[in-house]
Chain A
Amino acid sequence: MSLRTALLFAASLLCARAGAGEIPPSERRSGYDLMSRETRAMQDDDATNPGMLWVLDGETLWNRKAGAADRACSDCHGDARESMKAVAARYPAFDAALGRPVNLEQRINMCRSKRQKAPPLAFESRELLALAAYVARQSRGLPINITIDARTRPFLEAGREAFFRRQGQLNLACAQCHDDHWSGKLAGSPITQAHPTGYPLYRLEWQGLGSLERRLRGCLTGVRAESYPYGAPELVNLELYLMWRANGMRMETPAVRP
């Protein structure tokens, strides 16, 4: 380990020690564990899980030809149940051409423009959420598996730095709620440890499916901080850090949350 990474590592430990600290692996909990029995039952049964409507739409879109190339996702990737297995569990992943990590939605859009010669789908559009939910569904039950190497480490560190930074008019860091107070309640809501195990997921409050970035923008707005546009590098860095922090936890897509 170089002196610089050693210092960064020491600094991150100090950061973590300042509050209650980063959550030890044995104490990690999915948001699922903090939900009511009814909401858990809704997630568990495909017949009642509203997210399955998006997954079914996604399957249709997967097989539908699109763009000037007149090709479907399945023309290149075949059966998603085989080819997309465990894929979402390792996103955000490094893209060599861009020289930075991209999230699953961005990867889908890159395939659209490069391989299908179709215009990119808007973030949070029904189609993009459906495709992302269908792909991520193929990781359900599999462990999150982010590997960090020399190329991705700086982005992970940037995400971690953002997680521990106090920000906004309320001057709160993500870690102050999600590491230090996850067992508490903010107004009536259990806070959770912010493990992104189930995205895109159906949120009762949204009455619809939404991406991890939508959730992050919500928390940023909550502390009255300036938000970032969808797809912004800062959001993807945070996603990378959160997924890495949840390494080994099981994917739940499409999850349900209050």
Chain B
Amino acid sequence: MSLLAGNAFAADSIPASLTGAKGDPARGRAIVANRQVGLCLLCHSGPFPEERFQGNLAPDLTSVGARYSEGQIRQRMVDSRKVNPQTIMPAYYESEGFVRVAPAYRGKTILSAEQIEDVVAYLATLR
């Protein structure tokens, strides 16, 4: 399904799972909906009728799984700057190179490899 969407440039996709295993879509949904964990709904909206306050700074996530392959979603989660250097979307799996990070978060990624895989598995179901 992703052959059409698959742009040929190198940093558009990370095909392999970060953990070597498949993520859990139910856990992924919970992460995306959680303002303190995923933070996604600060900027994005999506199919979350129970969440009253959703952002409008980023594309709606409904049907994102039809537009992108799992590898492309993974790349955007890990470090969206590889796709768009000006992006405001945080790099969820990068811990270095940031400025003045608060002590509690220093040297840490926003999400763990397992959490990224859960989110990728969930977003892939949105089609």
Q: Footprint of B on A, CB under 8 Å?
A: 18-19, 165-172, 176, 180-181, 184-189, 221, 224-227
| Residue among B41, B57, B104, B108 making CB contact with A181, cutoff 8 Å | B57
**Do B102 and A226 touch (CB < 8 A)?**
yes
A18 to B56, CA, bound (A): 21
A18 to B84, CA, bound (A): 13
Which bucket holds chain B's interface residue count?
Answer: 20 to 34
Q: Max chain A CB contacts within 10 Å: which of B42, B88, B100?
A: B100
Interface stretch (choices B14-22, B47-55, B65-73)? B47-55
Q: Which 7 pairs, one residue from A and one from B, show the smallest C-beta to C-beta distance?
A: A188-B53, A169-B105, A187-B53, A170-B90, A167-B99, A167-B100, A184-B57
* B9 contacts the other chain (CB 8 A): no
Closest B residue to A228 using CB positions: B100
In the complex, the number of residue pairs spanning A and B with C-beta atoms less than 8 Å apart equals: 69
Main secondary structure of the interface of A (DSSP, over half): loop
**Do A172 and B90 touch (CB < 8 A)?**
yes
**Do A188 and B52 touch (CB < 8 A)?**
yes
A187 to B102, CA, bound (A): 22
**Do A171 and B91 touch (CB < 8 A)?**
yes
Query: A188 — which chain B residues lie within 8 A by C-beta?
Result: 52-54
Query: B35 — which chain A residues lie within 8 A by C-beta?
Result: 187
Please judge, given known A-B contacts A184-B56, A187-B41, whether A171 and B90 are in contact too, CB under 8 Å.
yes
**Do B54 and A165 touch (CB < 8 A)?**
no
Query: B100 — which chain A residues lie within 8 A by C-beta?
Result: 167-168, 225-226
